[in-house]
């Protein structure tokens, strides 16, 4: 297997970011026909970098997925606006919120991960982890209108499934409770992280462990330690965490 080129991976992240959010991270023309040309050039550059790192068919499959990735990213921006009264416009979210850098890298990495690309997806998400303090494994499945407010210390494990309109706050851990091993003592990679259904909110420093399900429209309060599933419309707070 060819060793990944770290500089090339940085370029993949940068080009993707400029394609998804043109004009925010580097100057670009605003006239429609010139903007279209700018985007085509950036996509051609991205394809060249990708084809040097992964098979051509996977590079082209990724490029075909870019419109859907972009759609998802803009739902994430809208979710951030809807969940944080401290911001009221798209520009501030894109420019200022570390969550945006983390979710761009994650959504690019997740697509590559689904296409069977090795190592590069993990490098992309770990770069975002280093920059933002938000640790999302590329194997996690995250729906649309996702938001992480503040973000520092958030951990989302490989087999997490997160639905639509889910909001997390800083310090949230969606982790594994234990690991199963085979007869030789080798760890078995199987679902071991939480499932969060639609419209779930998890407040700061909550820890959710194991293959548990948080039912839709539930709220998990801050500083909770939760290792069991809860039904839809639950409110798990300090005084009822053990109920």
Task: Please give the structure tokens belonging to residue 155.
Answer: 């951990």
Question: Within this chain, do residues 94 and 162 fall inside the same structural domain, yes or no?
Answer: no
DSSP class per residue in 108-163:
HHHHHHHTT--SHHHHHHHHHHHHHS-EE-TT-EE-SS-EEES-TT-EE-TT-EE-
Domain for residue 146, yes or no?
A: no
Could you list the beta-strand ranges (E) of the chain: 135-136, 141-142, 147-149, 155-156, 161-162, 167-169, 173-175, 195-196, 201-202, 207-209, 213-214, 219-220, 225-226, 235-236
Question: Within this chain, do residues 1 and 94 fall inside the same structural domain, yes or no?
Answer: yes
* Adjacency order of strands within the sheet including 147-149: 147-149, 167-169, 201-202, 219-220, 235-236
Phi-psi region of 41 (alpha: psi -120 to 50; beta: other; left: phi over 0): alpha
Task: Give the structural domain span for 209.
Answer: 153-243
Question: CA 79: distance to chain centroid?
Answer: 13
Which CATH number goes with the domain that contains 226?
A: 2.160.10.10
Question: Within this chain, do residues 11 and 82 fall inside the same structural domain, yes or no?
Answer: yes
Question: Within this chain, do residues 109 and 220 fall inside the same structural domain, yes or no?
Answer: no
pLDDT of residue 178: 76
Question: Within this chain, do residues 91 and 203 fall inside the same structural domain, yes or no?
Answer: no
Angle formed at CA 215 by CA 214 and CA 216, multiple of 5 degrees: 120
Question: Within this chain, do residues 36 and 78 fall inside the same structural domain, yes or no?
Answer: yes
CA distance 216 to 91: 30
Which CATH number goes with the domain that contains 111?
A: 1.10.3130.10
Question: Within this chain, do residues 39 and 101 fall inside the same structural domain, yes or no?
Answer: yes
Question: Within this chain, do residues 84 and 168 fall inside the same structural domain, yes or no?
Answer: no
Domain for residue 172, yes or no?
A: yes
Beta bridge partners of 202: 168, 220
Domain for residue 130, yes or no?
A: no
Domain for residue 132, yes or no?
A: no
Show pLDDT as tens, one digit a residue, over the chain (243 residues). 678 999 999 999 999 999 999 999 999 998 988 999 999 999 999 999 999 999 999 999 999 999 999 999 999 999 999 999 999 899 999 999 999 999 999 999 999 999 999 999 999 999 999 999 999 999 999 999 999 999 999 999 999 999 999 999 999 999 998 777 777 777 778 899 999 999 999 999 999 999 999 999 999 999 999 999 999 999 999 765 544
Task: Please give the structure tokens belonging to residue 59.
Answer: 């590079």
DSSP conformational letter for 85 = T
Domain for residue 137, yes or no?
A: no
Question: Within this chain, do residues 34 and 77 fall inside the same structural domain, yes or no?
Answer: yes
Number of structural domains, the chain? 2
Q: pLDDT tens digit string along 114-145? A: 999 999 999 999 999 999 999 999 999 999 99
Question: Within this chain, do residues 204 and 103 fall inside the same structural domain, yes or no?
Answer: no
Domain for residue 145, yes or no?
A: no
Domain for residue 147, yes or no?
A: no
What pTM, to 2 d.p., does this model score? 0.93
């Amino acid at each position: 297997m060819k060793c990944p080129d770290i500089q090339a991976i940085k370029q993949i992240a940068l080009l993707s970011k400029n394609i998804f959010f043109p004009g925010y991270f580097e100057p670009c023309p605003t006239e429609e026909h010139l903007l279209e040309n700018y985007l085509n050039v950036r996509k051609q550059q991205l394809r060249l970098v990708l084809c040097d790192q992964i098979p051509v068919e996977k590079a082209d499959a990724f490029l075909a997925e870019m419109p859907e990735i972009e759609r998802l990213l803009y739902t994430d921006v809208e979710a951030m606006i809807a969940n944080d009264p401290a911001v009221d416009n798209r520009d501030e979210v894109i420019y200022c919120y570390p969550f945006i850098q983390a979710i761009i890298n994650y959504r690019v990495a997740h697509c590559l991960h689904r296409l069977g690309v090795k190592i590069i997806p993990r490098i992309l998400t770990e770069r975002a982890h280093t920059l933002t303090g938000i640790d999302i494994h590329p194997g996690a499945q995250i729906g649309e209108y996702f938001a992480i407010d503040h973000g520092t210390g958030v951990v989302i494990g490989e087999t997490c499934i997160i639905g639509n309109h889910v909001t997390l706050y800083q310090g949230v851990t969606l982790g594994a409770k234990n690991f199963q091993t085979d007869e030789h003592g080798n760890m078995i990679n199987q679902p071991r992280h939480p499932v969060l259904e639609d419209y779930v909110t998890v407040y700061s420093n909550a820890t959710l462990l194991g293959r548990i399900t948080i039912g839709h429209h539930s709220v998990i309060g801050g500083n909770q330690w939760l290792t069991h599933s809860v039904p839809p419309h639950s409110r798990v707070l300090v005084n009822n965490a053990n109920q």
